[in-house]
Structure 1
Amino acid sequence: MLSTLEVGTVVIVGMMVGVEFSVAFVMNRIFSALPDDSNQAARSHGGRMLGAVMPFWYFGSLLLTAIWAVAGWGSGTGLVVAGAALLIVSVVMSVLLLVPINNQGKKWTAQTRPADWKEQMSRWDRYHYARVAVIVAAFVCLAAALV
């Protein structure tokens, strides 16, 4: 049962990392190459869609990791605890830095976006790169703990 939890947690965290990596290094670059109205519309739509899903994915990943740490306590759980700590950092970063920008950006239209919308999206991107680095590190810890 513990091995199923371990593998499931690594798979779920790994898929989350893949989505967030794709947003950072693929999707946002594609969006930025579009004309401003299309770029902003794509980012707003992505903010609404992923903004609805990602909180459950982040908290679910953290919960699974915490359960793994407790269930496997004593048998080399240091990497699991480190992974959980990094996931906590990613949740705090999300709530304090990324969500406030996303909550504004997901409501914008071509007619209602502020003049500095590109600067706000650039700030979101920088925070997101840092968050991706944190969750990649968490994933590495969990994958190493699995091995």
Structure 2
Amino acid sequence: MLDALEAFTVVVVGLMVGVEFSVAFVINRILDALPEDSGQLGRSHGGRMLGAVMPVWYIASLALVAVWAVAGWRHPGAGLVVTAGGLLVLSVVMSVLLLVPINDRGRTWTPENRPADWKEQMNRWERYHYVRVAVIVAAFALLAAALA
């Protein structure tokens, strides 16, 4: 049963990392290359869509890692799992304190109501997002190592 939990957790966290990596290094580059206001409209839509899904995914990932840490406490790799859990906690804290406030504003923007500094706010969000991606990639790597 623990093996199934471990595998399921790595898949769930790995998919989350893939989505966030894709946003950082693929989707945002595509949106930036779109003409006129299309990129900003795409970011607003993405903020609404992913803003609804990702909090659940982050919390579910953290819960799965916590269950793994408790269930596998006496097994090899438990320290790696606990450390990965700590990194996921950090990613949630970063999200709530740094990224969500910007995302909450940005998802309501249209070309008619966006603030003059909207690009600077999006650039700030991207910088924070790069750090968050690095944190969750590290958590994923630790979980994968714990399986070995």
Instruction: Using structure 1 for the length normalisation, give the TM-score.
Output: 0.99
Structure 1 equivalent of residue 49 of structure 2: 49
Q: How does 1:1-147 map to 2 (within 5 A)?
A: 1-76=1-76, 77-147=78-148
CA distance in 1, matches of 2:97, 2:24: 19
CA distance in 1, matches of 2:39, 2:121: 13
Identity value in percent:
71
CA positional deviation for 1:36: 3.9
List per-residue Cα deviations over 1:54-110 (Å, max 9, x = no partner): 000000000000000000012120000010000000000000000000000000001
**When the two structures are aligned, how many residues end up with a matched partner?**
147
Structure 1, gaps ≥5 residues long: none
CA distance in 2, matches of 1:8, 1:36: 42
Runs of 4+ off more than 4 Å: none
CA distance in 2, matches of 1:64, 1:78: 15
List per-residue Cα deviations over 1:20-65 (Å, max 9, x = no partner): 0000000000101112410110000000000000000000000000
CA distance in 1, matches of 2:36, 2:109: 12
CA distance in 1, matches of 2:75, 2:33: 49
CA distance in 2, matches of 1:75, 1:15: 25
CA distance in 2, matches of 1:142, 1:130: 19
Instruction: Using structure 2 for the length normalisation, give the TM-score.
Output: 0.98
CA distance in 2, matches of 1:38, 1:32: 9
CA distance in 1, matches of 2:130, 2:43: 16
CA distance in 1, matches of 2:60, 2:86: 14
